[in-house]
Each structure stands twice: as structure tokens, then as C-alpha cells.
Structure 1
Amino acid sequence: MQELLLYFFIILAAAILQTSTGFGFSIMATPFLLLLFLPQEAMQINIILSLVISLSLIWKVRQDIDVALLKKVMIGSVVGAPFGSLLFAFVNVTTFKLLIAILLIGLTILLMKNLSIQQTSGRDYGVGFISGMLTTSIGMAGPPLLLYFASTHRNKETIRAVSIAYYIFIYLISLLSQVTFEGTSKMVWLYSMYALPIVFIGLILGQILFNRLNQKLFRSLIYLLLVAAGLILLIQSIGTML
């Protein structure tokens, strides 16, 4: 019973975060789900519930989607995904995670010090490429997008909408790949179903939070999530090395 309550609390917090920002479910939920489930099960539950949230929100945010930007990011991610698979197969993933963690934390610190870059078509494709590559190598699609959106100073509505639409695309591919090549289990789908009422409570509370977040608080939340993602990768990689 205690494990089930912990599971529901994790999902509620992650659902509120995902709904209010458009990202963060994986960053919030995955480290704690790994305490309760096998890695493959934790990853699949994470993907399924992220998809449920994104699909539930897409109609509401559709008018805020920058369609041209979304298309470029999606195309870039399709190109980048095979390179991530090659990295996973031929590169020491622990060392790669460590490098990404250091880079992520370092770039976030620069963002906090008002690092700014101009959005270009090439950079749109490039961030999609990196996101696709990191999705298939270390299972982390979000941080490249967050870094890019924050550094180009997009408004919170566009960031949330593009992130939600992109996650539907990338997580559908990830789920199909996982189920096809690694299989799934009854537990994954049962626990995903158990969590649905909690997810929908999170959707309501997250939308209330989004309406109350101004642009400054939204950016601060991005920085917090980026640092958290970097620290999680850092701890995972150092833990594996030890």
C-alpha cells in the first residue's frame, strides 16, 4: 500500500509539472519510478503517461503551436535518432551521460547569466537532431529543447505547446520501438491504468498553475528542471562508475 501511495504521489507531481510547463514528466518521475519498477517498466510507464497527458492537452494548446518550428524539430529528430542508436551501441554510455550532464549544467548556468542566441532555421533543425540523438542514446528528449527555447526567449505559451506536440511524436516512436524490440509486460499497462485518475487530477491542477505562472517564473522553472536533469545524469553516471 505504501508503494502504491508513493507511486500515485510521484505521478501526481509529475503530471502537474508536465501540464503547467509542457515538459518535465520524465525528469520528475523517472528517477523515483526506478525505485519501484525495473528500468524497462519504469521507462514504459513514463512514456505511456506522458503520452496521455500530451494527448489530453494538445487540443487546448493547438493555437499556440509554432507549426514551422515544430516541423523542423521533428525532421531533425528523425535524422538524429539513428545516430543516437549508434552512440548507444559503440560509445561508453556512462561517460557520454557524464559529459552531457556537465554540459547541461554549464549551459544552464550561462542561461541564468542571460545567455541569448538568435533563432534560425538551421538551429531549429539542429536542436531536433540533438533531441532525437539523446532520445535513442540516453532516453532524454527534453533538455535540448528547453535550452534552445530558453536561450531564444520564446514565450511560455509557445514553449508549452511545441513541447507537448513534439512529445506526442517522439514518445509514440519510442513506445512503438520499446514494445517491438524489447517487449512489454502486463504490470506496465495495469499500473498505467491505475494512474489515470491521478493524471487527470494533475491535468486540472497543472492548468491552474500554468495560468498563474508569469514569464519570469516560467523561465526560473525551466532553469530548475535543466539543473535537475543534469544532476540526475551526473549521479547516474558517477554511481555506475563506482
Structure 2
Amino acid sequence: MEVGLFILLIFTASLLQTSTGFGFSIVATPFLLLLFDARDAIQLNLILSLFISLTLFKNIRSDIDRGVLKRFISGSVIGLPIGMMVFSFSNIDYLKIAIGILILLLTVLLLLKFRIGQTRGRDRIVGAISGSLTTSIGMPGPPLLLYFSGTETEKAKLRGTTLAYYLFIYFFSLVVQIFAAGTSNKVWLYALCALPIVLLGQLAGQYLFSRINQKMFQLFTYAILLFTGAYLLFNT
């Protein structure tokens, strides 16, 4: 049962990550926390998400907003150590509940057509929040998804910039996690076994991306956010 759930989970999350630029950590992390302890679940998520970003980089290079990317990265440098401290000293269940409530509230605002203007300062703030969430619970995506949805960013630019940012954030988050919390052979064995499933999910995700329009893409993002917020809130 656990093996089947793991396969389905990795395939679905890989498909969403490839087709939207989001999805792997948002969908996978809550379920991985059911199958593994917090450290192993977060590190497994980081390894597989980094692999997806690496394999897709050639396809998304032309869609990257390099200015936004640099500001996200500069902000995340501040957030990474903060998130590691939160992971080390806080109750993970309380943290998940708080993040779930925040995601749901912000998603409701987006559904009510709340929009924000994009600025350099806000780019850095979002990067800092994303960095802290990556090392604390392995989920950098919600702040970016909420921000890009609020600024109505075009889908190719959103996916390209996000996947490029993940190359940085997942690599350094994994290094920080291993250095501060250690790792296990179990994490790397499961990651290796999951790679073929990830590749199949990527093929399906590329097919889906080429066939969804901007409106459908936006509906996907709202569905992912609502699912994530509800899951974090009600399954702790």
C-alpha cells in the first residue's frame, strides 16, 4: 500500500511541477510526511525537486525573468537560515497549521480578485519567505505561487522563473539540511528508486503544459493552493 501511494504521489507531483512550475513540494511534502519522518520527507522532496529543475532547465531558459530571479535569490539568502532555526526549534505541527491557514486566506483573496503590484522590494520579501519555508518544511512554492498569481504573471514566465529559482533554493536548502540535521541512506535509496517515476511524470507534464491556456493554468494554481492549505490545516 505504501509503495503504491509513493509511486502515485511522485508521478502526480512530478507532472504538476513540470506543467506549472509548482506542485512537487506543495503536493508531495504533506504526503511524504505521512510516510517518512520530517527530516527524511523534506530531504527526499528537495532531492527530487532539484532533479526536476535540472532536467527541465534547457527547456525553460528563454522564459526566465532574470531580474526577478536575482531578487528572489538575494531574499532567500536571508530566509534559509531562519527556516533552519524554525525547523530545529519549533513544533512542526503548529508550523504546518499556521502556514495552512495563511495559504487559505491568501488564496481566498486571490479568488476575490485581489491583486498586487510587483516591486523589487516585494520580490526580495517573497524570496526570503520562500527560503525560510524551504529549510523549515521543504515547501518554497506557496509564496511564489501566491505572488505570481496576484501579479497575474504569464504562465511561461512564471514556470521558467520558478524552476530556475528552484535550482538555487533546493540545492542550498539540501546542503543546509544535511549539515544541520544529518541524512540517511534511506533518503538516497528512495530518491534513486523514484527517478524513473519522476521522468514519466515529466513527460506527461510537458504534454499537459503545451495544451493548457492561461485561464486553465490559473485554475490549476488555485486548486493546488487550496488543496495544500486544507491539507496542512486538517491533517496535522
TM-score after normalising by structure 1: 0.90
1:73 match: 72
Moved more, 207-216 or 72-81: 72-81
Identify the residue that residue 231 of structure 1 maps to in structure 2.
Answer: 230
Task: Write the distance in 2 (CA, Å) between the matches of 1:74 and 1:173.
Answer: 11
Aligned residue identity for 1:203: Q
Amino acid of the residue matched to residue 102 of structure 1?
Answer: I
> What CA distance in whole angstroms lies between the structure 2 residues aligned with 1:16 and 1:105?
23
CA deviation string 1:115-171 (max 9, x = no partner): 111111111111112212222333321111111000001100011111111111111
User: Percent identity over the alignment?
Assistant: 52
Instruction: Give the structure 2 partner of residue 13 of structure 1.
Output: 12
How many Å separate the matches in 1 of 2:31 and 2:194?
15
**Quick one: which amino acid aligns to residue 170 of structure 1?**
I
CA deviation after TM superposition for structure 1 residue 6, in Å: 2.6
Question: SS of 2:78's equivalent?
Answer: helix
1:33 aligns with 2:23: no
Secondary structure of the residue aligned to 2:35 is coil
Question: 1:24 and 2:23 equivalent?
Answer: yes
Q: Hey, what does 1:182 align to over in structure 2? A: 181
Match of 2:102 in 1: 103
Deviation at 1:103, TM superposition (A): 2.1
Q: Give the deviation of 1:86 after TM superposition.
A: 4.4
For the aligned residue pairs, the C-alpha RMSD in angstroms reads 1.8
Asked whether 1:143 is paired with 2:142, we answer yes
Q: 1:68 to 1:42 in 2, by over 3 A?
A: same
Q: 1:95, CA displacement in angstroms?
A: 4.1
Q: For residues 228 and 76 of structure 1, do their structure 2 counterparts lie closer, same or farther at Cα, with a shift above 3 Å needed? A: same
Partner Cα separation in structure 2 for residue 137 and residue 47 of structure 1: 12
Residues 1:162 and 1:114: Cα distance change in structure 2 (over 3 Å): same
The DSSP-based 3-state class of the residue aligned with 1:119 is coil
Q: How many pairs align?
A: 236
For residues 38-87 of structure 1, the C-alpha deviation after alignment (integer angstroms, 9 at most, x for no partner) is 33222222111111111000111000000000000110111222333444
In structure 1, give the amino acid aligned to 2:47: I
Corresponding residue SS for 1:23: coil
Structure 1: stretches of 5+ with no match in the other structure: none
60-69 or 181-190, which deviates more: 181-190
Q: Is residue 153 from structure 1 mapped to residue 166 from structure 2 by the alignment?
A: no
CA distance in 2 between counterparts of 1:233 and 1:62 reads 33
The DSSP-based 3-state class of the residue aligned with 2:153 is coil
Q: Distance in 2 between matches of 1:12 and 1:139?
A: 18
Instruction: Give the 3 Å change call, closer, same or farther, for CA 34–133 of structure 1 in structure 2.
Output: closer
User: How many Å separate the matches in 2 of 1:177 and 1:55?
Assistant: 19
What is the CA–CA distance in structure 1 between the aligned matches of 2:52 and 2:210, rounded to whole Å? 17
Matched, 1:131 2:130: yes
Q: Which moved more, 1:161-170 or 1:81-90?
A: 81-90
Q: Output the CA distance in 1 between the equivalents of 2:226 and 2:102.
A: 10
Give 5+ residue unaligned stretches, structure 2: none
- The CA distance in 1 between the partners of 2:91 and 2:186, in whole Å, is 31
Contact 2:28 2:45 in 1 (8 A): yes
CA distance in 2, matches of 1:5, 1:90: 33
- In the TM superposition, 1:32-51 aligns within 5 A as 32-51=31-50
Paired residue type of 2:50: L
> CA–CA distance in 2 between the matches of 1:42 and 1:88?
13
